[in-house]
Amino acid sequence: MAFMKGVWRFLVAIKDGLALLFLLVFFGILYALLSAGPNPGAVRDGALLVELDGFVSEQPAAIDPVAALLSQRAPMREYRQRDLSRSLDLAVKDERIKAVVLDLDRFMGGGQSSLAALGERIDAVRKAGKPVYAFATAYSDDGYQLAAHASEIWVDPLGGVLPTGPGGSRTYYKGLFDQLGIKAHIYRVGTFKSAVEPYMRADQSPEAEVAMKALYDEVWEQWRTEVARARPKAKLDALLADAPAAVEAAKGDLAQLALANGLVDRLGDRVAFGKYVAAKVGEGRDEAVGSFAETRPAALLAAHGPSRDGPPIGVVTISGEIIDGEGGPGVAAGDSVSELIYGALKNDELKALVVRVDSPGGSVMASEKIRLAIAEAKRRKIPVVVSMANLAASGGYWISTPADTIFAEPSTITGSIGIFGVLPSAREALAKWGVTTDGVRTTQLSGEPDVLGGISPEFDRLAQATVEKGYRDFLTRVATSRKKTVEQVDAVGQGRVWAGGTARQLGLVDRLGGLDDALSEAARRAKLEKGDWHPLYIEPAPDFASTLLGGLVPEPAQAQMPTDLFGRAAFEQQRAFDRIAADLRLLSGVQGAQARCLECGGIAGVPVTIGEINTQSWFDTWLSKLL
């Protein structure tokens, strides 16, 4: 009898434990849903706090709930550039906002064009008579690009500013493949189509070196010009001329070096900075030392709903790698994006279409699906304007060809008109282990491509011919769109990438400007008066799981992000390993011909794998906090 009572008590304990766990998860989900949406009532007198703990992007990627729950790496937050821009615009007009605070301590970067657009908004805030204060322990190039526009720049005494400029090394795998007995079969068109060089060379080609050096120099000059215009007293040239000597002369004190060269205005830790801001805008409501009265961008946006005056001008964002099939935000899936555009065209009130492109390209077939959907708008006599953000290269340029007008920023990376395909074979690698292949063929192409037995010369000829045909298709589409001959496009094609300013001179884009300029041009073409229209952003609605996870994820993940210079250096090392993993995935995972610019991602400030950092299981961290 005593045994049965013990068993019963054990079963009751299990039942009570499961019930308690269920209640904890239920209230956690309820909290996440409530916190996922912004609160318009949270706007108060004080500062607009723009806390960038992650990346700035054109379209934040959707969180895969299953992968995120199972992963040991927490998703890193992404901030939509247009939301940040609009919140800064509202800060100019809202009398409750007395100042803007840029918390860049854990800012991981963004595309140079996106950051330049934010810089213009920060300038507008200052022009309206409202101060802008920036703080970070250490400023990267991207962080300093934003901070340079502030009224006052603070840096932690243990941190500093050390501009490095774009560039660096790529990893080449030819020697490794030779040792392993792996052969990468490369099919490409374009003298400058260097995306596949890591699989066929041990170093960069002279053509790639010339092209990339010219691009790096132009993009870097744009950065330096913007910083010098925003902060004329900063002595960048002296620091960049011989950074090691300058640091040694300062006895390794990067913060004092930044102060002496006019890169920052004040030295102080986060608490000192917070107290300084509190003296300007008011004390914070919580008891944390260094808190100040603040409003978050999401609350300000919620308090000022978007305009609905006049007919809509559609804005569709094509962001991320262009892939076949379906996908959520942050990836340009051919089926999903084209269906989104076709669905929007059913709206009879739509007066024009603006296509915001921020993509290094990808699948040729998916690019063509998206291009055909955009071309359908033109067929219906709807004006189409393309606005290039940080990247509109290769497939990103392919989908831009139907536009009536193409806008680009000076630092936009575009062009890369070229096609490639890559297939690995492992015959020699298998032979080292005594594995061979044999069989019977009915035609020259039976069993091809034979990844294990070796891809035949006949298949190589066929694949190269199809890639060359794809390149001719690319040239023809560009020539028709840009009113040039195929020969003229080929002269600026060949896979070479260009910065926006040079692309305009070459006739690949029409005008320099941002999204606002593209919207104004679309309104003009639609014969709409200023103020008599509103932008209608055509985007997939977030699913329930992503919305829920967005409320659960952020805090544990952000706590582990680096702030000092050495931490950031370690983070860059991690990203380098991510790039190697991406290179190897490309070798075995590409399906179909590619119009993709792999070398563009590092220049545009877009990480290979956005949104993942090392932690203990993030779900365990969150659950432990809840318990």
In a domain, 588, yes or no: no
Whole-number pLDDT of residue 89: 96
Q: Of residues 614 and 202, which shows the higher confidence score?
A: 202
Beta-sheet pairing, 352-359 with 384-393: parallel
User: What is residue 40's DSSP assignment?
Assistant: G
Catalytic annotation present for 483? no
The CATH number of the domain holding residue 245 is: 3.90.226.10
3-state secondary structure string, 101-124?
Answer: EEECCCCCEECHHHHHHHHHHHHH
Decide: helix, strand or coil at residue 353.
strand
In a domain, 152, yes or no: yes
Is the pLDDT at 178 greater than 90? The verdict is: no
Catalytic residue among 140, 394, 416, 425: 394
22-63 pLDDT tens trace: 665 555 555 554 455 555 657 889 999 999 988 999 988 876
- The secondary structure element, H or E, covering residue 550 is helix 544-552
293-330 pLDDT tens trace: 999 999 999 998 887 888 999 999 999 999 988 888 88
CA distances from 301 to 35, 284, 315, 509 (A): 15, 21, 19, 33
DSSP H helix total and E strand total for the chain: 25, 25
Report the range out of 524-528, 562-566, 576-580 with the highest average pLDDT. 524-528
- The secondary structure element, H or E, covering residue 187 is strand 183-189
Helix then strand then coil, % of the chain, to nearest 5: 45, 20, 35
User: What is residue 41's DSSP assignment?
Assistant: G
DSSP letter string, 505-540: HTTSSSEE--HHHHHHHHHHHTT--TTS-EEEEE-P
- The 10 Å Cβ neighbour count of residue 491 is 12
In a domain, 237, yes or no: yes
Is there a contact between 194 and 205 (Cβ–Cβ < 8 Å)?
Answer: yes
Q: How far apart are the first and last CA of the chain?
A: 36
Whole-number pLDDT of residue 592: 65
Whole-number pLDDT of residue 25: 56
Catalytic annotation present for 35? no
In a domain, 71, yes or no: yes
Angle formed by the axes of helices 112-127 and 206-230, nearest 10°: 10
Instruction: Give the strand order in the sheet containing 97-103.
Output: 266-267, 152-161, 132-139, 97-103, 46-51, 294-295
Its domain, for residue 252, covers 36-166+219-304+550-563+606-626
Is there a contact between 257 and 247 (Cβ–Cβ < 8 Å)?
Answer: yes
Per the structure, how many domains does the chain have?
Answer: 1
In a domain, 471, yes or no: no
In a domain, 416, yes or no: no
Closest CA to 358 of 304, 307, 410, 322: 322
Helix ranges (DSSP H) in 231-253: 236-241, 243-249
In a domain, 91, yes or no: yes
In a domain, 67, yes or no: yes
DSSP letter string, 567-600: HHHHHHHHHHHHHHHHHHHHHHH--S-EEE-GGG
Both tokens of 29, joined, read 């989900």
Q: Which residues pair with 424 in a beta bridge?
A: 184
Tell me the average pLDDT of the chain: 83
| Calpha distance 423→456 (Å, rounded) | 12
Query: Per mean pLDDT, which range of 5-14, 175-184, 372-381, 509-518 is the poorest?
Result: 5-14
| Calpha distance 147→136 (Å, rounded) | 9
Q: Of residues 3 and 231, which shows the higher confidence score?
A: 231
Beta-sheet pairing, 534-538 with 77-80: unpaired
Is there a contact between 166 and 265 (Cβ–Cβ < 8 Å)?
Answer: no
581-607 pLDDT tens trace: 666 666 665 556 677 676 665 565 554
Whole-number pLDDT of residue 599: 65
Query: Per mean pLDDT, which range of 359-368, 420-429, 552-561, 599-608 is the poorest?
Result: 552-561
Query: Per mean pLDDT, which range of 249-258, 304-313, 360-369, 398-407 is the poorest?
Result: 304-313
Q: Of residues 572 and 48, which shows the higher confidence score?
A: 48
| Calpha distance 58→81 (Å, rounded) | 6
Q: Which residues of 112-151 are buried (b: 16+ CB within 10 A; e: fewer)?
A: bbbbbbbbebbbbbbeeebbbbbbbbbbbbbbbbbbbbbe
Closest CA to 140 of 148, 131, 152: 148
Q: Of residues 438 and 534, which shows the higher confidence score?
A: 534
Catalytic residue among 193, 351, 369, 484: 193
Residue with tokens 């070096």: 257
Q: Which residues pair with 318 in a beta bridge?
A: 357
Residue with tokens 């022009």: 127
Whole-number pLDDT of residue 221: 94
